[in-house]
Every structure is written in C-alpha cells, then in structure tokens.
A and B are shown apart, each in its own frame.
Chain A
Amino acid sequence: MTDEAQDVIGDYRYGFHDPENSTIRFDQGLSEQVVRDISELKNEPEWMTDIRVKAYRHFVERVMPEWGNCDLLNKIDFESITYFLRSSNKTETSWDDVPDDIKNTFNRLGIPEAEQKWLGGVTAQYESEAVYHSIREDLEEQGVIFLDMDTGMKQFPEIIKKYFGTVIPYSDNKFSALNTAVWSGGSFLYIPKGISVEMPVQAYFRINAKNMGQFERTLIIADEGSSVHYVEGCTAPSYSTDSLHSAVVELIAMEGAKIRYSTVQNWSSNVYNLVTKRAVAHKNATIEWVDGNIGSKLTMKYPSVLLKGEGAHAEVISVAYAGEGQHQDTGAKVHHLASNTTSNIISKSISKKGGRSSYRGLLQVTPKSTGCRSKIVCDALILDDYSRSDTYPTMEIGNSTADLEHEASVSKVSSDQLFYLMSRGFTEDAAMGLIVNGFFEPFTRELPMEYALELNKLLELEMEGSIG
C-alpha cells in the first residue's frame, strides 16, 4: 500500500479546510432583503432581480417535498445557512493571482495539473463565486464562450435572459426556487454552430466555510451540430454542522448537437446535495448525463431530459454509493415528447454500512410520440445485511408503438466471488474493491480516464475495512 493510501484509510480525503477568509460575508439566514442584496452586489439588471424575488416568494410558500427522505429534508435549518460568501474580489485568469490558501486547496485537488494535461477550460468556484477561470485560446477563437455565470451575466445578458429558467422554471420545485432566488456562480457555456470541442471543459466546486450554502447556476447551450463534454467535480471539508448545496443546471442541445455532462460528486458527509438538472434535446440532438454520486449526507438528484425534437436521444448513466449515514436518492427522468426518440438509462447503486440508495425514475412517452424506444437497467449491490436499496420506477406510456425494456436486479457479493479472488492473493478488502469497481464499470468507462482512475481509487479506499 502506498503512503498516500495509508493516510486516508477510513477518512474522507478531501475533508481538510482553509481559514475562513472572506471579503464579503452575509449574515446567516434568508430574507427578501438577502435576495435583493445579492442581486445588488452583482449589479444585476432589474429583470434578474425580479426573477430572484419572485422565486424567493415561491420558495417561502412552497412546501417541502413529501417524498425522498422527509426526515432529513425537514431537518434543514435554512436560517443557519450563509447564503453569500465572497472569498476573493476577482475571478483570476492566472493561478498565481489566486489567494494562496485557495490556490493551495485547488492544488491539493489536482485542478491546475489536470488543466494543463487534458482540459479545454477550467472554472474553479470557491464558496459563492469563481476564483479562477480560463479557456484555451483556440476554443475562444472558435467562438466558444466558457465563463462563470456571474461574468456571463455581465458580458452576455441577452443570451442569458433568453434561456435562463426556460428549462427549469423557479416554480419547478422548492429547491429550484431557492437556487433562482440566491444563485451565485456556476458556468455559462455556449458552443457555436458546428463546433466540436474535443477536450473536456471542467468546473470544480469547493465549499470551505461551515454552514455554507452554495447555489451555483449553470447554463449550457450547444448550437446546431456542435458538441461538448462538460465535467464537474465537487468536495467540501468535513464539519459536524451541515452545509447545503443546491444547484440548478440547464442544458439546451439544438438540432444535431451533443452535450455530455459528467459529474463526480464527492461532497463530505455533512452536505445536503439537492440539485435540479434538466436538459432539452431538439431534433436529432443527444444529451448524455454521466452522474456519479459518492459523497454527501443526502443527495436528491434526477438528471432529466426532455426529448423535444424528432430523433433526439438521451443517455443517463448514474452510479450511487451510499455508505454510513448516507442516503443517495438518485435516478433519471426522460420525457419522450417527439416521435422516434430514444433513451437509455443505466443506474447502479451500492449500499454499505447502513447506507441507503434509492433509484427514482420516470419514463414518459406522450400519446403523439410514436416509434420511441427506451431501455432501463437498474442494478443494486448491497454489501451487508443492514444496508438498504429501494427502487421507485414510474412509467407513463401514452401509446402502444413504444418499445420498452426494463431490467432490475438487487444482488449481494457472493462468498464464492470473494473466495475466488482471495485465492488469487487479494485481501478481503481488495477483493471487495475489485468487485465494486467492476460493478461500476459501465459508468467509469464513460469517464475521462483520469477521472475513472481517481474514482476507482476512491472506491477501493471506501472498501477498506468494509468487512468483519
């Protein structure tokens, strides 16, 4: 075993934190004034302030969801959350200009290194706003826009006004309302017609302060015939009090465009992760959500696709790992709103040490959408006798021309598999790690190699001490 691996056994390796230095920090708690203050601080146009305020009022009136994990949801204390924290006055374009503490953190997370090796652009968000941002010159010359959302609002308000909230209106759910009211940061990405961005672009979200609320807002528009792969990662320090991450991500793929959105969510186990992600796919467009949930206390997230144009395709591959004290309530929603649209959903979950994973899925085919095809595969692996896995699939099929397949399985690691691997020299933990990596393989093979290796390493470490 390497020294590095030795250091992190039984421990969340990203749980360290920096001193809490801030240039602006709002008092804890939420009110209409807080919402207006955020908007004013960002010098926003009136239309954005208005949307925020409407969203806030909706948030206040909207009841908490009565599904998912109500016990945990109702424990969220919205008055103890810090809704805005600025840690650096400027979004820098050189790492040298980023404050030392923050720069060191991102160094430890490997972001600058990854950027040099294989990324087309990077946004690094720390608390409420991006502290660093860059894009390769060649992409910029091709007209690709990749900015943090706040800068996007300043430079391209018309585009944002046209699309903001069109895929996920603030009234969609309580947390989309909250995000719309207090959003800050996130990514704005536009790919012009016919441009294929070969290298992935990445956004990294880091929470550092205690009781922090992070509410990034991401909007990605792929114009006709273009393609892009966007990758996001996230971590936070381990604290005994809770933090809240509630993002809204809207994707729009125009005719023939393709967006792949990959997530490796690895929040510390004191973070509520309540995220709304939805995409629109126009004619012959493809949306791919590759969604990995390893960390957090409670995640409720169901990447969705509206297949609006004929021939559009959706792909949702998600994995969830629920360890001690974790509930991963995840899944996928696909709406076949046009004819000859296709979708493919693969969901894999692992529960361990009392963790709970739930698959919640919706497949809808409207009466007028003929010739649609969909395949759903849900596999759950339970590693001990006191962990839990549930499946809540919903199908609304409006006509008889749809071709649907649904497979589901719940399994345990067999003693024969463990014995076989141990007879080949693997320790019990290493054998379990290998089996788990294999189980998640349909997901990891879709990730950029660097991410896949990292995730495999992470899962192997999670398996340390998993038996006995």
Chain B
Amino acid sequence: MAEEILRIENLHVSVEGTLILKGVNLTIHRGEIHAIMGRNGAGKSTLANVVMGHPAYVITEGSIFYKGQPLEELAVFERARAGMFLSFQYPAVIPGVQVGTFLKKSVTSVRDEAPKGRAFRKELTSAMEQLSMDKSFLSRYVNDGFSGGEKKRLEILQMLLLKPHLALLDETDSGLDIDALRIVAKGINEVAVDSACLIITHYQRLLDLVKPDYVHAMINGTIVQTGGPELALELEDRGYDWLDVTA
C-alpha cells in the first residue's frame, strides 16, 4: 500500500462561532486523486483551508494527520515546508512584489536552500512554457490586476515548482476557459503522479481531464457518499437533492 499522506478523523470546524464541518473522515494515500463535490456552502473550501491552517478556522473536535503527524503542531509555513500546498480559490494580491521575486523566495523557503540561479531559471522557464505563461508574468506584481485565469495559472505554476506531497486544489477550475482548463489539468496530472491530491470542485468538467480515484459528495459539512468517477457524473446529472437527507 502506498504511503498515507493525509488522514482526517471526525473533523468538526467552526468559523466565527458557526459550525461548518460536522464530522469529516477522509484518508488519502500517495498517488491518489480525490475529488470533493458539493453545493456552495457545503464546507468544501473550509476543509481545504483548515488543512492548510487558516487561523480563522477553529477545530472543535477531531484531528488531521499529515504523514502520520498531528497537524496542529505545525504552523502554516511549516506545513508548506513539509510539502503541503493549497491552490487558492481567491489568491491574495501582494502589491509591489514581483512574481519572479516571490517565486524565488517561496521556493527558497520551502526547499530550505536558495535554488541555483541557472538551474532555477531553467526550471521556471520550462514550467511556464508548459502553462503557456509569458515571461512578462515574472515582472508583474503577485496577482495584481490578474484575470481569474491568470491567477489560477500562477497557482499551478507555484505547485509545479514547489512539488508538494499533498496538493489541495480549491476550485482551481472556476473561471477558466476550456483551453486554460486543459493546460491547468496537465499541470495537476504531472504533480498528482507522486503526490496525494484533493480536488475541490463544483463541476464535472475538470474531472474529465484529471481522473479521480475517489469522488466524495459533501453536504452540510459531512461526506455523505463516496464512489469512483461515475459518482461525479451522477452528481452532475442529478444534482445533490437525492443525497440530502435533510432536504
């Protein structure tokens, strides 16, 4: 059996006093792709953010383990350095900080050593080519004035460079046209080969391009159904009402 990367047990999470996650259980091994689907407000993004350690999300019950280690012991930056990565639904704008500077510093932090100049440039150029990103991206300010698609590409570029062991992709497909979606999917597939991958999405269309091993349906803060890729198709077709016991 492949290495266990993420294990979530009976996770309850509240935001500003409101309980959002109500007992989530999920285990992901290296090389597996999991997709979580659900309506707006089901708790999907909360799950991604709490795993990465967003301070606004409070764990009230249950635990998260990364490679067997309880995550509450790790600060956000330590999670990143340990190989965790979150592709944000809404990446923050950092005015005045050039993408090139940001990437270099980020890679330096995560790898715990400054990448060699020439080797890094080569790596960067090749990753950018793969994502059809122009070199001019590097001198723009991080996410400042970026279109939705540009932001998502920058997220995937970071993922390619940081080579995470756990990739959390929060609605990475939203706002992308079909060409961009293909490019982004290619990036995800490349990383997914050797990492655990959790894809959060509303739509089936990304899952046509990135084949999930497991699909989970989330309703009202819990996973109510787990299946293979066929579940995604069924959800796309039938919606969520048939799974919603509270409806």
Q: Mark A389-414, 1 if CB is under 8 A from B, else 0.
A: 00000000000000000000000001
Are A425's CB and B77's CB within 8 A? yes
CA of A435 to CA of B76, assembled, Å: 17
Are A419's CB and B105's CB within 8 A? no
| Nearest CB in chain B: distance from A404 CB, A | 24
Does B55 sit at the interface, judged by CB under 8 A?
yes
Does B95 sit at the interface, judged by CB under 8 A?
yes
CA of A426 to CA of B158, assembled, Å: 14
| Nearest CB in chain B: distance from A319 CB, A | 11
Chain B's closest residue to A443 (CB) is B96
Are A426's CB and B96's CB within 8 A? no
- Once A434-B102, A434-B105 are accepted as A-B contacts, the answer to whether A425 and B110 lie under 8 Å apart by CB is yes
Total contacts A-B at CB 8 Å? 81
CA of A137 to CA of B52, assembled, Å: 60
Are B94's CB and A424's CB within 8 A? no
CA of A415 to CA of B90, assembled, Å: 13
Q: Which residues of A contact B77 (CB under 8 A)?
A: 422-423, 425-428
Q: Mark B142-158, 1 if CB is under 8 A from A, else 0.
A: 10000000000000001
Does A441 sit at the interface, judged by CB under 8 A?
yes
Q: Mark A422-445, 1 if CB is under 8 A from B, else 0.
A: 111111101000110111111000
- Number of A residues whose C-beta is below 8 Å from B? 23
Q: Which residues of B contact A415 (CB under 8 A)?
A: 55-56
Are A439's CB and B96's CB within 8 A? yes
Does B10 sit at the interface, judged by CB under 8 A?
no
The answer, among A414, A426, A428, A438, for a CB contact under 8 Å with B141, is A438
Are B97's CB and A420's CB within 8 A? no
Chain B's closest residue to A441 (CB) is B96
Are A422's CB and B75's CB within 8 A? yes
Does B216 sit at the interface, judged by CB under 8 A?
no
- Once A415-B56, A419-B54, A424-B80 are accepted as A-B contacts, the answer to whether A441 and B106 lie under 8 Å apart by CB is no
| Nearest CB in chain A: distance from B111 CB, A | 8
Are A417's CB and B92's CB within 8 A? yes
- Number of B residues whose C-beta is below 8 Å from A? 31
Are B88's CB and A420's CB within 8 A? yes
Q: Which residues of B contact A427 (CB under 8 A)?
A: 75, 77, 109
Does A416 sit at the interface, judged by CB under 8 A?
yes
| Nearest CB in chain B: distance from A437 CB, A | 7
| Nearest CB in chain A: distance from B205 CB, A | 26
Are A438's CB and B96's CB within 8 A? yes
| Nearest CB in chain B: distance from A327 CB, A | 25
Query: CB within 8 Å of A: which of B105-142?
Result: 105-106, 109-110, 141-142
CA of A437 to CA of B85, assembled, Å: 24
Are A438's CB and B97's CB within 8 A? yes
Does B12 sit at the interface, judged by CB under 8 A?
no
| A-B contacts besides A430-B105, A440-B96, 13 pairs, CB < 8 Å | A416-B92, A417-B92, A419-B53, A419-B92, A423-B79, A424-B80, A424-B102, A424-B106, A424-B158, A425-B110, A426-B77, A426-B106, A427-B109
Nearest 3 A/B pairs, CB to CB: A438-B96, A425-B109, A441-B96
Q: List 29 A-B contacts (CB under 8 A).
A: A414-B92, A416-B90, A417-B92, A417-B93, A417-B94, A419-B53, A420-B94, A421-B92, A422-B53, A422-B75, A422-B77, A422-B80, A423-B52, A423-B80, A423-B86, A424-B106, A424-B109, A426-B105, A426-B106, A434-B94, A434-B105, A437-B96, A437-B97, A438-B96, A438-B142, A440-B96, A441-B95, A441-B96, A441-B97
| Chain B contact residues, CB within 8 Å of chain A | 52-56, 75-77, 79-81, 85-86, 88, 90-97, 102, 105-106, 109-110, 141-142, 158, 162
